[in-house]
């Protein structure tokens, strides 16, 4: 399995528009963060997790020519705002792109992209085959995907486990049932917005505590806000096996 971090930033990305803080003005490439997204390559198949407003550029930057499917964690715009650009893959595939999402997220996609699902569709609209998932494991070809329910304040969000890897973003709580599903995970991506407390996101300390409780071999923090601080400085504070993710990061395991 190969993991590529397509974007490691929060909903505003870094730099934030009009912000003059040290992080937003940083010249370090690891402080330049597009909206949160990742790509898994398994047996030659590319699976994308979330398609936010930077989706088009993320695909171009990573040189992606085709994708097998897109997994959606939830319906917030920074995670679904780029789905119109699946049109390019429709042309490559000569057909629809498979989208996996829970019922709540499906309804948001159908509302936001109503023109793609109307009875009379304008030529060239994106073609998406939305497959509704619950908490039951499902297969994409031979790849088993286990949904993991987490909470984003009061909003249920779907994380995903594939083999010994798990990806969770936009969470501030993981129910015990979901923690049980995460047992045995060796590699994990988990969100942490900043060091200070937040209503709907883990802090850095909270995320580290979850990862240490799960005893993962290696983990990466994503969905990072500019309040977190510069990557080079925050990295010095981290446990040896837990890292800040950064855009274009690639890891094989």
CATH T-level fold of 2-246 = Metallo-beta-lactamase; Chain A (3.60.15)
Give the DSSP H or E segment for 131.
Answer: strand 128-132
CA–CA separation, 153 and 155 (whole Å): 6
Confidence of residue 236 (pLDDT cuts 50, 70, 90): very high
Give the DSSP H or E segment for 60.
Answer: helix 55-62
Mark out the alpha helices in 64-192 (DSSP H runs). Answer: 77-80, 87-93, 103-112, 176-181
| Count of C-beta atoms within a 10 Å radius of residue 106 | 18
Q: Each residue of 160-175: pLDDT tens digit?
A: 999 999 999 999 999 9
* Rounded (5°) CA angle 245-251-253: 130
Confidence of residue 79 (pLDDT cuts 50, 70, 90): very high
Give the DSSP H or E segment for 210.
Answer: helix 204-214
- Mean pLDDT score of the chain, rounded to an integer? 98
How much is the pLDDT for 156?
98
pTM for the structure as a whole: 0.97
Domain boundaries, the chain: 2-246
Give the count of alpha carbons within 13 A of 226, CB side only: 18
Which residue in this structure is represented by tokens 């057909």?
Answer: 95
């Amino acid at each position: 399995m190969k993991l590529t971090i397509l974007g490691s930033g929060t909903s505003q990305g870094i730099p934030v528009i009009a912000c003059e803080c040290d992080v937003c003005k940083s010249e370090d490439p690891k402080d330049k963060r597009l909206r949160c997204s990742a790509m898994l390559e398994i047996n030659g198949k590319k699976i994308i997790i979330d398609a936010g407003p930077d989706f088009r550029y993320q695909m171009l930057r990573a040189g992606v020519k085709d994708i097998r499917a897109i997994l959606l964690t939830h319906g917030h715009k920074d995670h679904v705002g780029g789905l119109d650009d699946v049109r390019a893959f429709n042309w490559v595939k000569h057909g629809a792109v498979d989208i996996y999402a829970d019922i709540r997220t499906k309804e948001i996609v159908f509302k936001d992209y109503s023109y793609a699902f109307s009875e009379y569709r304008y030529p060239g609209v994106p073609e998406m085959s939305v497959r509704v998932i619950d908490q039951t494991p499902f297969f994409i070809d031979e790849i088993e995907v286990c949904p993991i329910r987490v909470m984003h304040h009061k909003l249920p969000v779907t994380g995903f486990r594939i083999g010994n890897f798990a990806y969770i973003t936009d969470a501030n709580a993981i129910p015990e049932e979901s923690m049980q599903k995460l047992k045995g995970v060796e590699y994990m991506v988990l969100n942490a917005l900043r060091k200070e407390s937040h209503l709907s996101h883990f802090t850095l300390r909270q995320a580290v505590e979850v990862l240490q409780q799960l005893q993962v071999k290696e983990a990466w923090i994503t969905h990072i806000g500019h309040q977190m601080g510069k990557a080079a400085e925050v990295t010095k504070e981290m446990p040896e096996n837990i890292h800040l993710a950064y855009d274009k990061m690639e890891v094989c395991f």
